[in-house]
Structure 1
């Protein structure tokens, strides 16, 4: 598949020596979520995102100095409850807006998965997330979710007209990436199904940059104003492995619009081993 959307890169990710936060994702999402709540109409510029990565990594290293935490988490990969209770940032969990669910295996309906019958699926969770913003009385209100999948945490910011994924581990975007990133999903975002002949042997993403309008200078500085649709991030194309129809010769549109965020999480994050 190929994702075409707007992407913004930090200078570093959590594993960079300037951050030294190899397993710091839980502390990092707490620090970033706090920043987003304090700046609801903005996204961090590059220098701010770099700073947040360093701050979150420092908070994680401080937690690593706590003997009790080290005994509970010998791999130093703390859970969200521990980070919230440690008051890394003044955050609290909203129980009625917190969900636990599963990616239901495709093509397997009955064999050995009866225990998932009454559990929430990812689709159920996504319906609840979209309902929250649709029911919001304020058009400009946003919602910040901390998402845990496959022993990793990232941020999902939900607005009426766009979704943002903020991830501090570059490898989550593609193999070899060493920069934290923000993906924006809006009405112009598309996911295409690639034909067999378009599959790259290494399945590494191809990234292309387009010249911007007079807004480009602001974007080069990293400024993203979330309620300004004229201001764009770098436009890129990311290809990732998925099922490919054998008889398709041309790319076919899988989905378009902000709901591509849902498909991206299911098709990419749901299969990503990192």
Structure 2
């Protein structure tokens, strides 16, 4: 994917990318070594990069890891929060990130005019949705509270609030409820609240 702010896939190009990606994933699933390491077939980014499927590199210097609302959990004391990571790093680095969260990847494109979320998992938007989607957040964006006209955020930073308040809201609430009963194991928090932004470019 180009870092050119004017370059976004058309519907037909997006369909082709999804079809090609599904084919490459099935090829990875035929590798017994990969499946032995990832029985659920949710391969990590390192495995995909080593497979050489696309001429893609990841800059570790511009890649970051954070957690949603770590202040709410005892075992996450001192880790970087999603809010801090976004404000200090993500919003200042123009380019493309492969975002890893909750056993799934999506793409975040950052340019001077806004943010774009590119995702194949429609279930993230609406339960039962099977369609991929592209969301654009720019200076004209407005995020309101569900079922009301109350404005939560305006402008392109609605993207951050969308990720935090919409995508992460359910697992965060569930883990908060568990934490009230007993300390939630670090593994569970890591699995459901950690989000990784991998800054990438084509070779």
Superposition TM-score, scaled by structure 1 size: 0.59
Matched with 2:123 is: 171
Paired residue for 2:159? 261
Q: Is the 8 A contact 1:146 1:155 kept in 2?
A: yes
- The 3-state SS of whatever aligns with 2:56 is coil
Alignment of 1:74-93 (within 5 A): 74-93=39-58
- Give the RMSD, CA atoms, in angstroms: 1.9
User: Shift of the alpha carbon at 1:144?
Assistant: 0.4
Q: May I ask how many residue pairs the two structures share in their alignment?
A: 171
Q: Which has the higher helix share?
A: 2
Distance 1:131 1:160 in 2: 10
Q: Does 1:123 align with 2:83?
A: yes
Q: In the alignment, which residue of structure 2 is the partner of 1:44?
A: 9
1:251 aligns with 2:203: no
TM-score by length of 2: 0.78
8 Å contact kept, 2:70–2:77: no
Whose strand proportion is higher, 1 or 2?
A: 2
Q: Alpha-carbon deviations, 1:218-241, whole Å to 9, x = none?
A: xxxxxxxxxxxxxxxxxxxxxxxx
Q: Distance between the aligned counterparts of 1:129 and 1:268, measured in 2? A: 19
CA distance in 2, matches of 1:192, 1:38: 30
Q: Does the CA contact (< 8 Å) of 2:5 and 2:111 recur in 1?
A: no
List gaps (5 residues or longer) in structure 2: 172-191, 193-203
Larger CA Rg, structure 1 vs 2: 1
User: Which residue matches 1:184?
Assistant: 136
Residues 91 and 156 (structure 1), Cα distance of their counterparts in 2 relative to 1, 3 Å cut: same
Unaligned runs of 5+ in 1: 1-35, 134-142, 199-249
1:158-237 alignment to 2 at 5 Å? Answer: 158-194=110-146, 198=147
Secondary structure of the structure 1 residue equivalent to 2:39: coil
* Corresponding residue of 1:100: 65
**Residues 149, 62 of structure 1: alpha-carbon distance in 2 compared, 3 angstrom cutoff:** same
Poorly superposed stretches of 4+, deviation over 4 Å: none
